[in-house]
Chain A
Amino acid sequence: MSQVMLVLFLWFTSLAQAADTLYLYNWNNYISDATIARFEKQCGCKVVQDYYSDNEEMLAKLAAGATGYDLIVPTGNAVEALIRSKQLRPIDKSKLPHLKNIKPEFMNRFFDPGNRYSVPYAYTVTLIGYNTARIQALSLPTNTWALIFEPRYLKKIKGRVTVLDSQRELMAAAMLYLGYDINDTDEAKWKQARDLILRAKPYWAAFNASSYIKELTLGNIWVVHGYSNDIFQADADAQAAGRPFRIASALPREGAVLALDSMVLHKTGRHPELARRFIDFMLEGQNSAELTNLIGSGNPNQEAMRYISPEIADNRAVFPDASVMAHLEMMRDLDRKSRRVLNRIWTEIKLR
């Protein structure tokens, strides 16, 4: 009996976690294991990660009252929501010696003027990914959203297209193609975007924000509306598997969505000092570059460029020219009334 009690005791004590642990609430696959290991060694602590695959998922869990995360890596609009709902801790920039590494164009953006609460981490661009062999054979244009919205192109690739299962992202692409601002909340324009989407929908295979990477690699899906780093991943996988085609990405000329992810400190985190050290650690060129080399994300860090493999650094879809960069837009957070209007439009899109 005493042995049973001992086992029980051990089970229950393992419920309590070790003291010096950094709780990181991060995107799936958004930091290299080597980076984590190096930080753990340097600080003599443990890093525990939880993952989300959508800003909304993360915001919902925080709104529900999830606590205990020291550091989160939300996208701009989510940073805005977190600041306005007073969930973040200000960051003492004087304690971040490596903050100077960040390129000035990524500082001081609308969601956090003066960067009181956030430090840029990495960015992705939402663009078009495609199977080079298939698209060349069909001689389709890739530099325009028309490829995923216009039936005259879609006819040739019916059932071989996926779009993101994200109401904000898909609406943004449709708004851009229609020539509107992605942050326009005018219901009439949203309805135009809805009609555009509904016209194209019969040609799409799925709304998909996850398995499209694999389907691209396998050659089942030829054109996707997706994130630049996912498309990079698909290409890397295709090469590793010796596929007879490459996966490339293209920035549509109508513009695209830029998602700048930043590191922020959550108020309920119990290790703000450790989190600050982590932020500065991630601002070092080599550590920041490791992420880009792993997943092909865009990098706002000037110093990191030295460590980034040339193939990625030369990819204009990941590191656009300054002129193109000016064309990229960031999403703003929606108020609750607009959210509900969009919610109904989205339900309609999904159902019809």
Chain B
Amino acid sequence: MSRTEAHPEPPALAPGEVRTRWIVSTPPILFLSLFFLAPFLIVLLASFQYPGEFGGLAPLLAQGDSPDHGLTWENYQFFFSDTLFAEIFLKSFLVAALSTLLCLVMAYPVAWLIARSPKGRRDLLVLLVILPFASNFLIRVYAWMIILGPQQALAQGVNWVLSALGQEPVNLLFSPFAVLVGMVYVHLPFMILPLATNLEKHDPLWLDAARDLGATSWQRFWRVTWPLSLPGVFAGSALVFIPVLGMFAIPDILGGTRDMLIGNLIKDQFLGVRDWPFGATLSILLTLAVLGLAGLATWAGKPRRGHD
């Protein structure tokens, strides 16, 4: 994202501009306050309410004979009452981290190729990366159901190798592997694009200089390219990590018997088990975790920006 770039300070405001400033700023601020900030605060409030008997939320004020009204810590206590829910958080973060890592490994050669290609071909290569993620994502996930099916070449091949090694056959579909493939596939372009944008800006002279100083190709990558590409790596990682964390459709479609992630758990609270307050609690805790992580990443990324 563009936040990683250093921008010159705009000049001071002219006196007549103060009114313009409000005309320009007010509509988006109003809209986002209403449709982003307010909903968020409502979720925060809901996380302290009781669930309604038939779903939804119990009233805040006393109504009829229902004893459950007002605010409560109950939902947070339920979360922290045993390690179960924390384990799901941990597992989701691990899946997100692994997906991010795989995306990074796969994105790097493509981004490098894009960055080092002449102008015309570069645009084509970028377009080729954008195109798949412009089609409907459910359909792409569905295509993986076909590819990973037990009677397809891939599964047959894997199981042939396994049986040659004396192992039991495995299912590729409905497995953590399938979930990971789906996650990586859907989010890969989000890693490639910022990385390519970053690598494009590197001056090839630096690599030439390193070569002249006798650096091997590995050293040139590890000592020159990699540190310089860190802002792109951070931007891409954020764009992969965060969506993976909230994803529920991919585990639903490709997952097996142990692939529940936070996304599924939150979705279930609202559209499965009629426990909105707990769903809200999970949402708030996830937001806190993501913000905390973002803060950590900004802090970790800051000293590196000097290279850019």
Q: Do chains A and B touch in the complex (CB under 8 A)?
A: yes
Given the complex, which residues of A lie within 8 Å of B54, measured CB to CB?
59, 63, 81-82, 84-85
User: In the complex, which of the residues A60, A85, A207, A351 has the most CB atoms of chain B within 10 Å of its own CB atom?
Assistant: A60
Min CB distance B248 to A, Å, is 12
Are B145 and A205 in contact (CB-based, < 8 A)? no
**Chain A 183-210, CB within 8 Å of chain B: the 1/0 string?**
0000000000000000001101111100
Complex-state Cα separation, A36 to B150, whole angstroms = 39
Q: Does B84 contact A (CB under 8 A)?
A: yes
Query: A205 near B174 (CB under 8 angstroms)?
Result: yes
Cβ of A335 under 8 Å from chain B: yes
Residues of A37-80 at the interface with B, using a CB-CB cut-off of 8 Å, are 54, 56-57, 59-65
Is B51 an interface residue when CB atoms closer than 8 A count as contact? Answer: yes
A211-B253 contact given A56-B272, A352-B258, CB 8 Å threshold? yes
Contact B255 A351 (CB under 8 A): no
Task: Provide the residues of chain B in CB contact with A81, threshold 8 Å.
Answer: 54-55
Chain B residues with CB under 8 Å of A350's CB are 257-258, 260, 264
Is A219 close to B, CB under 8 A?
yes
Chain A residue numbers with a CB within 8 Å of B257 are 201-202, 204-207, 350
Among B88, B173, B264, chain A packs the most CB atoms within 10 A around the CB of B173
> Of the candidates B53, B78, B170, B174, which one forms a contact with A206 in the assembled complex, judged by CB atoms under 8 Å apart?
B174
Contacts of A64 in B (CB 8 A): 55-56, 270
Q: CB of B278 within 8 A of chain A?
A: yes
Q: Across the interface, name the chain A residue whose C-beta is closest to B58.
A: A336
* Cβ–Cβ contact B91 & A351, under 8 A: yes
1/0 per residue B258-295: CB within 8 Å of A? 10100011001111111110100000000000000000
User: How far, in Å, is A61 (CB) from chain B's closest CB?
Assistant: 7
Minimum Cβ distance to chain A for residue B172 (Å): 11
Known: A347-B85, A348-B84. A56 touches B271 (CB 8 A): yes
Q: Which residues of B contact A63 (CB under 8 A)?
A: 52, 54-56, 274, 276
With a 10 A CB-CB cut-off, give which of B169, B170, B275 has the most chain A CB atoms: B275
**In the complex, A340 has a CB within 8 A of chain B:** yes
Residue A136, interface by CB 8 Å: no
Q: Does B87 contact A (CB under 8 A)?
A: yes
B59 within 8 A of A: no
Residue of A nearest to B254 (CB): A206
Q: Which residues of chain A have C-beta atoms less than 8 A from B273's C-beta?
A: 56, 167, 339, 342-343, 346
Which B residues are in CB contact (< 8 Å) with A211? 145, 253
Q: A56, A201, A351: which contacts B260 (Cβ < 8 A)?
A: A351
Specify the chain B residue showing the minimal Cβ separation from A345: B84
Q: Does B246 have its Cβ within 8 Å of any Cβ on chain A?
A: no
> Could you tell me the distance between the alpha carbons of A202 and B252 in the complex, rounded to whole angstroms?
18
Q: Could you tell me the distance between the alpha carbons of A347 and B266 in the complex, rounded to whole angstroms? A: 11
Task: Please give me the residue from chain B that is nearest to A340 by CB atom.
Answer: B275
8 Å CB interface, A299-352 against B? 335-336, 339-340, 342-344, 346-348, 350-352
For residue B301, which residues in chain A have a CB less than 8 angstroms away from its CB? none
Interface residues of A in 141-182 (CB under 8 A from B): 159, 162, 165, 167
**A336 and B53 contact, Cβ closer than 8 Å, known pairs A57-B271, A347-B265, A351-B91:** yes
Q: Residues of A contacting B258 with CB < 8 Å?
A: 201, 350-352
Contact B174 A208 (CB under 8 A): yes
Residue A218 at the chain B interface, CB threshold 8 Å:
yes
Check: A101 CB closer than 8 A to any chain B CB: no
Q: Mark A243-269, 1 if CB is under 8 A from B, else 0.
A: 000000000000000000000000000
Distance, CA A85 to CA B57, complexed state (A): 13
A29 within 8 Å of B (CB atoms): no
B8 → chain A closest CB, angstroms: 38
CA distance in complex: A84, B253 (Å):
34
Q: Please give, as numbers and ranges, the residues of chain A lying within 8 Å of B260 by CB-CB distance.
A: 347, 350-351
A28 interface residue (CB < 8 Å to B): no
Chain A residues, CB < 8 A from B78: 340, 344
Contact of A220 among B151, B268, B269, B276 (CB under 8 A): B151
Tell me the bound Cα distance from A62 to B91 in angstroms. Answer: 32
List of B residues within 8 angstroms of A352 by Cβ: 258
Complex-state Cα separation, A165 to B253, whole angstroms: 11
- B65 smallest CB distance to A (angstroms): 14
Q: How far is the CA of A218 from the CA of B91 in the complex (A)?
A: 32
How would residues 127 to 150 of chain B score, 1 for a CB under 8 Å from any chain A CB and 0 otherwise? 000000000000000000100011
A60 in contact with B253 (CB, 8 Å): no
Chain A residues in 8 Å Cβ range of B174: 162, 205-206, 208
B275 near A339 with CB under 8 A, answer yes
Q: Is the CB of B85 within 8 A of A60?
A: no
- In angstroms, Cα B278 to Cα A288, docked, is 41
B245 → chain A, closest Cβ, in Å?
17
* Most B CB within 10 A of own CB, among A63, A201, A343, A350: A350
Q: Are A347 and B145 in contact (CB under 8 A)?
A: no
Q: What are 10 contact pairs spanning A and B, CB under 8 A?
A: A59-B54, A60-B272, A81-B54, A81-B55, A85-B55, A339-B274, A339-B275, A340-B51, A343-B273, A347-B265
| Further pairs besides A206-B257, A336-B52, A347-B85: 14, Cβ < 8 Å | A57-B271, A60-B271, A61-B271, A62-B55, A63-B54, A81-B55, A85-B55, A167-B272, A205-B256, A207-B257, A340-B278, A343-B278, A348-B84, A350-B258
Please list the residues of chain A having a beta carbon within 8 angstroms of any beta carbon in chain B: 54, 56-57, 59-65, 81-82, 84-85, 159, 162, 165, 167, 201-202, 204-208, 211, 218-220, 335-336, 339-340, 342-344, 346-348, 350-352
